[in-house]
Every structure is written in structure tokens, then in C-alpha cells.
Amino acid sequence: MDRPEPRTRLRRLHRPRVQGTAGNGLQLGHPRAHQQLVPTTDFQEKRTIMSNVAVIGLGIMGLPMAINLVKAGHAVTGFNRSQDKIDKLVSEGGKGASSIADAVKDADVVITMVPDSPDVEGVVGGKDGVFANAKQGALWIDASSIRPDVAVRLAADAKEAGIRPLDAPVSGGEQGAIDAVLSIMVGGDKADFDDAQDVLKAVGKTIVHVGPSGSGQTVKAANQLIVAVNIEVLGEAIAFLEAYGVDTDAALRVLGGGLAGSKVLEQKGQKMLDRNFDPGFRLALHHKDLGIVTSAAREANVAIPLGAIAAQLVAATVNQGDGALDHSGLFKQVLQLSGRK
């Protein structure tokens, strides 16, 4: 008996929610306006392309995020100042771009992941930047950690250019980016946050809308304050334990099971014991973030005495030439203050 021809069906790649004009309800240029009807068969499921995503900045965090977006089925184009990072993304199934303009021209979603406020301003502004070259209605997700006031100003510029902005800094370090379990704190319009879910869920686990534009950066500043103080006090505790000759591996194991347990202890304790400060998140960047939070706290008339001390200790470590170390390298400063190697 002849085998019947496979029954062909059509599957919609996006579930449109956005209200608009009559017809398909989507405005031209909206990320969900680029739906595709892809024929599939009952015998073979084709790979779903969710969205065209451009990632600007393929560093310690940006590259694994881009790779996870590829794994999730998105068409990902990356741009970075160093070609080797672009080549790595291409080897993982993404595409490379020769410029920011080239990367974003067809993107439904643009993610920027660069070090500081001036860097974000540099990649989004000007005739070759994101705002001048991205499609109308595209989502712009800034995953960088920058000043909240800059995030608010750039969000207004993005809207004026027809781009939908979200400030969405992340926490979890390099390993969190690799494992796609980042915590993402998102500021911006709730409707845009909802539309970004497929992309955000490809790189993060805890994804929360925390308020209007700038709110994500404010929450990230608070995160960096907590982390810095935790790293400092963990370093002090380990120096204390080592001074008394305690089995530090056993000590951290039992401390981690009690109220003293934390992600910082879990991820940074062994690095301190091993004196291994290969960067997952560089001290120089944490120094920048603590400058943001101390400045913002002063503007809000909020006292952060422990944060201010931690900021000074981080600054001293960076000024001594250790800015390229992982932020657990703050332990070196603790040891130096104690006169220990």
C-alpha cells in the first residue's frame, strides 16, 4: 500500500497580542509583524525562528547570552569590536556583522551589553548607531549596568526615534549567563516587557518588571551594593578562619547551609580559598557600579555607610592595579589590611 502524503499544516511562529489597525492588528515594523507561516509535516518538525535579534557587545556576559538566544531558536546577529568574539558566535550558529548599523537593520530586538554609560550612549547614538538604523517599533533591551538617569534620558531618545526601550541589567555573573539563569530587573513600559518575554526567557530565570524606565538600573545598583558588602565580609570571614587554622573547606560548607549562606558564598568562597581570581565580573566594573550607587544614594539623601566603605576598599584594590581581577579579588585587600599574604 502506498504511504499517504504527509499532511501539511501551518504553524504561527508568534502569538500576536498587539492591537493596531484592521486586518492583522499589527503595525508595520513591530517585532511581531514579521510572522512567518512555515509548512511542517507530521513526520518532521522544523526549527522555529522566533525573532531576529541583534546583540551589540559580545564580552564575558554578552557572548553567552547571544549563544543561548541561538539555542532558543532566535536568529542572532552579533557585533563586537574584537573579531574573535564574532567568530565564536558564528561557530555557534549565529551571524556576524561588520558594524552596529549592519547588525540592527533587520532586528526585531536589539540587545546592548557594554561596560558603562558612555559606551551605551556611543552605540545607540549618531548616524551609525542603534537609534538611527533600527526598524521602527523594534525593541531595544539595554542589559548593561549604567546610571539610572542616563537610562531615563536614553529611553526618551529611543521613543522619539520610534524604538521601544527597556533597561534590563542582569545579575548572575559569567556562569549565570552561560547557564541562562540570570536575574533580570526590567524598567520600561509593561506592554514592551510582555513583548520581550521570549527573548528574556532565553537568557534568564528570574525576570521581573520593576517599574518605568530607569527602574531596572536602580534595582541593579542596589544589587551591586549588596554583592559588594557580601564579598567584603566573606573575605573577612575567610581571613579570620585561616588565622585560626580552621578547615576552611568544611567551614564554608557548614556556613553555606545556615543563615550565613548566600550566592556570594556559594560562587566566590572557593575562589578566595584557591586565590583564583580569573574574572567572571571584573573589579573595575564593580568599582564603576559602586560609583553609580553612592552617587544615586547621595542624590536621594540615603545613608549607605557599609556600602561607602566597601566602595572605598574596591577603589583601593582597583587603584593598586587589580581592576582586571574577578570582584572576589577584593579578598586581596582584606589580606593586605591584615598583614597576611
Task: Name the 3-class secondary structure at 164.
Answer: strand
CA 159 to chain centre: 22
Q: Identify the burial level of 66 via C-beta atoms within 10 angstroms of its C-beta, where 0-12 means exposed, 13-18 middle and 19 or more buried.
A: buried
In sign, the C-alpha dihedral spanning 110, 116, 119, 121 is positive
List the one residue out of 299, 10, 251 whose CA is nearest residue 149. Answer: 299
Q: Contact at 8 Å (CB) between 56 and 114? A: yes
3-state DSSP percent of the chain in helix, strand and coil, to 5: 50, 15, 35
Find out whether 213 and 187 touch, Cβ atoms under 8 Å: yes
For 98, residues 6+ apart whose C-beta sits below 8 A from its C-beta are: 79
3-state secondary structure at position 31? helix
> CB-side exposure of 15: number of CA atoms within 13 Å?
5
Name which of 279, 256, 274, 265 is nearest 327 in CA terms: 279
Cell (9 digits) for 165: 526601550
Catalytic residues: 220
Specify whether the CB–CB gap between 247 and 289 falls below 8 A: no
Q: Are the C-beta atoms of residues 176 and 183 closer than 8 Å to each other?
A: yes
